[in-house]
Structures are given as C-alpha cells and as structure tokens.
C-alpha cells in the first residue's frame, strides 16, 4: 500500500513530496522518481508527541528523539499504519535525568530557604541588633505599634485602639514612672493597654510595651501587673524584640519570594505577627525574669505577689500549656519570684488607683 506524503528530513526546512509505502515491517519513503530516502521500522514509528489532533491528518516521527517528520493525508494509508504500527501511541519516555535534577534542585532550594529562615537570619539578626541606634529601634517599634493600634489583631481577639480612661492612664503612668528610672533601659518606655480577654503582654522594638486588659483583670494586685511589666522591660533592655523584627525582616523577603510578594506587604504583617506571638527561648525568658526581679527590688516593689500570678496560671492551664509555652515552667517562675520576697516594699498603687487601672478599658 502506498500514497504520497509530505516529508521533512529534520536537516532542512524544505518540504518534499514523497511516496510512502507500507511494507511488512517498515514504512519506506522514496522520491517521486523512486529513489529510496528512508526506511522507518514499523515498531519504532510514533505519532508526533504533543501535536494537535486534526481530522484526516497523521503526523509521524521515525522514533523518539528524531527530528524528521512525515505528514500523511491518505485515509487508507493512515488506517493501515494505525493498524500496523503497534507503538504508535506510546508516550515519550519520562525524562529521568531531568526528574533527578528536579529532586536535587528542589532539595537545595528548600534547604537554602530553611537555612536562611532558621539559621542565617537569626544569627545575623543577633549580631546586627547590637549596632542599631536606639532612635532607629524606637522608630521601627513605632511603625509596628501604630499598625497594631490602628488595625488590631483579629485572630488574637485584639480590638483596634488603646484603652484610654483618664484615671486608668494616670495609674498606669504612675506604675511606669516607678519602674522606668531604676530599669535604666537604653530607650524611653511607651506602655499601653489593649482590650483583650487574653492574659498576656508583649514588647516591641524600642521600648513599646503592650499589656492586654485580660492580664490586668486576672491580676489580684498591682504588684502582679508591675512584675509582668518589669519582665517585658527586661526584653526591651536585652533588645529581644529588635532581634525578632530583624529576623522576620530578613526572612520575609525570602518567604515572600515563594508566594510572589515583592512589595513588602507580607513583611509588615509578618513583623506584627512575630511581635505579638514572640517566642523566645527559655534562657531568654529566664533572663527577662531575672531582670524583672532586679528592677522590682530596685524600685522597692515586692516581687512575691508575681509568684501568685504564676501559681494561678499553673492552676488554670497546667505547665507547658499554650500560654507562653516557651517560657520556663510556671512552677519554677513562681518559686523564683516568691523567694525574692521583700517585706519592706512600698505598694505600687493605692486602692483607688488599682481600681482605676482595672477599668482603663471601660468607656
């Protein structure tokens, strides 16, 4: 069986009209004058991979990898070849070498991103944090603080806006004024209360500290609040939040790369999230506790009631529970603060002031 066909030899782009003849085990191509051009073994012939199927047309290659093409339009010859060429519709072999490369490069890419986020960024952040001028720390913290105050943090149940009942603010200022001079931080402190049921507090770079109203409601005395505040001041002094922000900033670009975010929208969100959900190591938390006790002693505030705060946390949540999970165990913290009891201490706030602080979020 034979018919005319269009032949491209893969060497040049010239179209040649040829005679295609189907033998027992091969497709023979010859010029119209009869000179043989090529012999394609029938078991190796394949349909051109990826070609759009077009009725009345069959595009063939002699074998995978070949650059020669044959276009048949004769219905009988097409039917005969579709019948005889058993491997016609075999799919091209999987590109094994490429797949191996994908595995190697995929592993390398993921490893490098993990290394940047978990090793290089924290290391560099720790080194660089010491060289950041205090004014820059304050400015950085302010941009994050403004974001938190303006937008709130929905998933944390933080509503926008700081609490500002005037008498409560006065009580808060009195408490800060008692601790700030003896704390001797390298930046001025800015302490605000946010309305939230969660008993928590966090520090941002540059002395910006947020207490959540849930913490004040849970506390049984102003000394407990002062203790938590002193703990956050401890973080400010050792610049832990600044390290965290730098680390996030360094990682944000790399992570943003994966999600196609080059405009830094992710960076701010990530920094707010990192600041609010800061997880420091137990050593860092223990050091902040030690600093807190030093500050309380120097300010003539009794650290022992802070122990009561941790005892209630222990009773409510048990140890190693979600609240500040990376912190030292509540039990050991209770013990540390209680051991440093100071019976000669002066109260932080009067009864009225303490009542005012507890209602700072009420309008």
Partner 1 sequence: MTIAETNPTAAPSDDGAGRGEFTGETGSLFNIMFKGLLLTILTLGIYRFWMKTHLRRYYWGSTRLDGEPLEYTGKGVELLLGFLIAIFFLAIYLAVVNFGLSFASMAYWQGYEPAAFLSLLTLLPLIPYAKYRAQRYLLSRTRWKGVRFGLDLEAWAYTWRSLLWSLGSIVTLGLLYPLADFKLRQFITKRMTFGDQRFELTGKAGGLYRGFIWVWALIAATVAVFVAVAVTATPPPANDPFATPEPSGPLIALGLFVYLAAIIGFIWYGSFRLKYILSRMEVASHGGAPAQIISEMQPGRMTMVVIGGLFLTMLITIAFAVGMALVFGVAGAGVAAAYPELLSVFDPSLNQGDPDPATLVVIFGAVIVFYLIIGVAAVIAAEIFVNRRYIDRAIGTLRIQNVAAMSSARQQAQTEEQAAEGFADALDVGAF
Q: Which residues of this chain interact with partner 1, rule CB under 8 A?
A: 6, 8-15, 48, 50-52, 54-57, 67-69, 71, 73, 95, 98-99, 101-102, 105-106, 108-109, 112-113, 116, 120-121, 124, 128, 131-133, 135-137, 139-140, 143, 155-157, 197-198, 245-246, 249-250, 252-254, 257-258, 260, 262-264, 267-268, 271
CB of 59 to partner 1, least distance (A): 8
Rank residues 44 and 59 by Cβ distance to partner 1 and give the closer one.
59
Q: Which residue has the tokens 């610049």?
A: 239
CB of 250 to partner 1, least distance (A): 5
Half-sphere exposure of 255 (CA within 13 A, CB side): 19
Rank residues 257 and 341 by Cβ distance to partner 1 and give the closer one.
257
CB of 32 to partner 1, least distance (A): 16
| Other residues' Cβ atoms within 10 Å of the Cβ of residue 181 | 10
Rank residues 183 and 271 by Cβ distance to partner 1 and give the closer one.
271
Q: CA 115: distance to chain centroid?
A: 13
CB of 280 to partner 1, least distance (A): 20
d(CA 41, CA 348): 97
Rank residues 106 and 331 by Cβ distance to partner 1 and give the closer one.
106
Rank residues 276 and 349 by Cβ distance to partner 1 and give the closer one.
276
CB of 239 to partner 1, least distance (A): 12
Could you tell me which of 60, 91, 52 has the C-alpha nearest to residue 77? 60
Rank residues 11 and 283 by Cβ distance to partner 1 and give the closer one.
11
Question: Torsions phi, psi of 43, nearest 5?
Answer: -75, -15
DSSP 206: G
CB of 343 to partner 1, least distance (A): 38
* Contact in structure between 305 and 224 (CB atoms under 8 Å): yes
Tell me the three state secondary structure of residue 117. Answer: helix
Tell me the three state secondary structure of residue 18. Answer: strand
* Contact in structure between 227 and 296 (CB atoms under 8 Å): yes
């Amino acid at each position: 069986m034979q018919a005319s066909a269009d032949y491209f030899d893969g060497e040049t782009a010239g179209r040649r009209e040829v005679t295609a003849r189907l033998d027992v085990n091969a497709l023979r191509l010859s010029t119209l004058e009869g000179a043989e051009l090529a012999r394609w073994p029938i078991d190796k012939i394949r349909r051109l991979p990826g070609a759009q199927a077009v009725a009345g047309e069959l595009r063939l290659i002699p074998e995978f990898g070949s650059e020669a093409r044959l276009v048949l339009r004769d219905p009988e010859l097409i039917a005969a070849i579709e019948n005889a060429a058993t491997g016609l519709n075999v799919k091209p072999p999987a590109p094994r070498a490429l797949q191996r490369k994908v595995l190697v490069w995929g592993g390398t890419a993921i490893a490098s991103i993990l290394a940047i986020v978990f090793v290089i960024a924290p290391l560099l952040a720790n080194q660089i944090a010491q060289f950041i001028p205090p004014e820059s720390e304050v400015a950085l913290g302010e941009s994050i603080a403004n974001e938190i105050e303006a937008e709130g943090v929905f998933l944390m149940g933080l509503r926008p806006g700081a609490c500002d009942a005037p008498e409560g603010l006065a009580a808060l200022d009195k408490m800060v004024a008692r601790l700030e001079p003896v704390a001797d931080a390298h930046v001025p402190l800015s302490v605000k209360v946010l309305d939230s049921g969660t008993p928590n507090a966090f520090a941002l770079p540059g002395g910006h500290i947020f207490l959540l109203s849930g913490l004040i409601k849970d506390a049984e005395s102003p000394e407990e609040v002062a203790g938590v505040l002193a703990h956050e001041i401890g973080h400010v002094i050792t610049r832990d939040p600044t390290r965290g922000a730098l680390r996030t900033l360094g990682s944000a670009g790399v992570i943003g790369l994966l999600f196609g975010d080059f405009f830094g929208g992710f960076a701010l969100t990530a920094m707010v999230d990192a600041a609010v959900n800061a997880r420091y190591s137990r050593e860092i938390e223990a050091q902040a506790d030690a600093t807190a006790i030093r500050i309380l002693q120097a300010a003539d505030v009794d650290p022992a009631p802070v122990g009561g705060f941790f005892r209630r946390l222990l009773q409510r949540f048990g140890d190693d529970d979600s609240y500040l999970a990376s912190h030292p165990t509540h039990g050991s913290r209770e013990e540390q603060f209680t051991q440093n009891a100071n019976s000669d201490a002066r109260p932080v706030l009067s009864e009225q002031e303490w009542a005012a602080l507890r209602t700072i979020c009420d309008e």
